[in-house]
Every structure is written in structure tokens, then in C-alpha cells.
Structure 1
Amino acid sequence: MPKVNSLMGILSTSVLILIGCSTYSSPDWVYNFVVWDDYMYVVSDEYTENVGDMLGEVTKYSDQEAIYDENFSNHYREGTKYYEIKEVSTSEAIAIQEGDSYRIAKREGKYGLE
């Protein structure tokens, strides 16, 4: 019986390790962001109605950690539109369309590897 108990312990531990690895297979991003004009904009909890011209849109979505050359987002799908915020420089923030609402995304810095 001791061999059976040891084998069961090893199998149980192996199963727990495999389950743990499979539930953590995609990256755990620190925050949601979009990339526009080579800059990363971190999505805030704030909204605005003061939107101006459309600036662009998400052209690449991925939940895989990597550096992408396009207007990339780790949260929004392709086609999600970016807008300027009236009286706010795009060097500070932009607005991301969410249905009929516009969420503010604040510029964090250059995106990609320098």
C-alpha cells in the first residue's frame, strides 16, 4: 500500500501543477492600453463627451505579450476608433470609443523597443 499512496501523491501533485499552468497560459497585463502614433495610451476609468476628430483605430488586437507595429491594443478589438479630446493635446490623452461612450486613455510614453 505505501507504493500506491506515493504514486497517488505524485499524480495529484502533477495534476495540480498542470492545472495551474493551463489557467495562467495568457499574460496578466498590468493595465489595458492602446497604441496610436507610436505611443502607448493607458485606458483610465474616466469618460468624456468632449470628442473631436477621429484619429485612427485599432488595427491589431492580441492578448499575447509582444511588440506590434500597428495601432495595437491588448483590450480593444480591431476597428475600435480613437478620437481627439477637444482642448486636450494628444500628447496628454485620447478618447477610445466604447459603443456610445468615450473612455479616456492617457499617454504613458513611447511604445516598443528603443
Structure 2
Amino acid sequence: MNKRRKFIAKIVLMAILIFTLTFTAGCSKNNSNYHEEKSWAFSKIIILNGETYVGTSDDVTSIDKKIGTIKYFSTRETNINNTIFSNYYEVGTNLYSIPNVSTKDAIAVEISKNQYIKAINKRLIH
């Protein structure tokens, strides 16, 4: 009878261990589908020439000259690159200056053929 109790105790302990490992593994943030998106201060960031811009929904009707193209994309905040980067706009997205607006204040982002929106410098956001 004593052997049977030891056997049952081992089974119960193994079941608890398996449950604990399964539960904690399911709660882990280390799976490949997890992104650090929620940690970004803004959801539509562009970094260009050391300046950080935030995409808006404001249409831009006139553009000046092309000033760059998004080279890097990532949703992980730790992957910020000081070159032309975005956490929202795809690699290849063209960026333009806006007539009579300093590129230190705002730029135009080409969201589709001949359609542009404004991205403003984050220092201007209050």
C-alpha cells in the first residue's frame, strides 16, 4: 500500500509540473508572433536625418522635391536605425518636402501614386 501512495504522489507531482510548464510557456512573450508595437509613443513614426516625424491623416496637395525613401522597417522599438526608418510605412515609401514648409517641421509621405499625407516633427506635438 505504501508503494501505491508513493506512485500516486509521483503522478500528482508530475501532473503539477507539466501543468505549470505548459501554463508559463503559453504566457511567454517570446513567441515569433509577438511584437513590441504597444511600446511605441506614436504608431506612425518616420526617422529621417536624425529627426522623428509622426504620420497624420492630413492630405498634402502639393509637394516639392524628393528627400528620401524609407530604407528600414520594424515594429520593434529596439531596432530603431538612424537612417531612413519607419515603424509603419513600408520600405520604398517616398518622402518629399512640402513647399513653404521647413523639413524640420513637416514632410510629405507618398501613401499611393500621387497621394500624400503630412508627417509632422514629433517636437511639435503637444
Same fold (TM over 0.5): yes
Q: Max radius of gyration: which structure?
A: 2
> Which bracket does the TM-score occupy, shorter chain normalised?
0.7 to 0.9
Query: Greater helix share, 1 or 2?
Result: 2
Divergent runs of 4+, >3 A: 4-9
Report if the CA contact (8 A) 2:49-2:82 is conserved: no
Listed as ranges, the gaps of 5+ residues in structure 2 are 1-7
* Cα RMSD (Å): 2.4
Distance 1:106 1:8, change over 3 A: same
- Name the structure 1 match of 2:3: none
5 Å-filtered alignment, 1:21-32, equals 21-22=30-31, 25-28=34-37, 29-31=40-42, 32=44
Query: Greater strand share, 1 or 2?
Result: 1
Listed as ranges, the gaps of 5+ residues in structure 1 are 110-114
SS at match of 1:63: coil
Instruction: State how many pairs are aligned.
Output: 108
Which digits, 9 at most, give the CA deviation of each residue in 1:60-109, with x for residues without a partner? 22223234131111112222111111222212110100113211100124
Report the TM-score, using the length of structure 2 for normalisation. 0.68
